[in-house]
């Protein structure tokens, strides 16, 4: 056996081991992805929260930026979802038009929302449910731990 045959054999063994390690790594990543899609997965998905979910409560309609307040946007209770405290300033900024001005959430890549917007969302969810003692519906925002949330009002 000459020297070049030994080197070629070593290189070949190195690439075979490298290939096996790469396959094990990819398999582990796929297994983790499948596992994270279960109950522990953060719902709703981050894309939904970035595009619309973090802007307005459920069944409210996003109306765009608030021209009167920089860094705020407007949401309209178009379908007249009942509120227990419609006179509360945390529920409507314009009661007659059923409009609320919310702080822009400025969500980062991990789904973290700025503290001022978090506080406003939690005040709304806590104080503006359909009846006294019932929280308002806002997917991904709330006081319970049914699923991992973007804003956990129970910890604020």
Q: How far apart are CA 55 and CA 121, in angstroms?
A: 9
* pTM for this entry: 0.69
Low-confidence ranges of the chain (pLDDT < 50): 39
Looking at the structure, tell me whether residues 70 and 108 fall in a common domain.
yes
Looking at the structure, tell me whether residues 95 and 119 fall in a common domain.
yes
Residue 65's φ and ψ, nearest 5 degrees, are -65, 145
Looking at the structure, tell me whether residues 83 and 103 fall in a common domain.
yes
Range of the domain at 87: 46-152
Looking at the structure, tell me whether residues 62 and 90 fall in a common domain.
yes
Q: How many domains does the chain have?
A: 2
């Amino acid at each position: 056996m000459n020297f070049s045959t030994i080197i070629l054999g070593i290189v070949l063994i190195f690439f075979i081991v490298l290939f096996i390690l790469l396959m094990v790594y990819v398999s582990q990543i796929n297994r983790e992805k499948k596992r994270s899609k279960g109950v522990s997965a953060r719902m709703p998905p981050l894309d939904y929260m970035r595009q619309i979910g973090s802007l307005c409560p459920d069944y409210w309609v996003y109306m765009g930026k608030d021209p009167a307040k920089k860094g705020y946007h407007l949401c309209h209770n178009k379908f007249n979802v009942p509120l227990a405290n419609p006179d509360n300033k945390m529920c409507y900024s314009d009661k007659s038009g059923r409009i609320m001005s919310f702080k822009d959430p400025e969500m980062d890549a991990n789904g973290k929302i700025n503290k001022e917007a978090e506080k406003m969302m939690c005040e709304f969810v806590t104080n503006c449910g359909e009846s006294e003692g019932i929280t308002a519906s806002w997917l991904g925002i709330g006081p319970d731990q049914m699923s991992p949330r973007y804003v956990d009002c129970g910890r604020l």
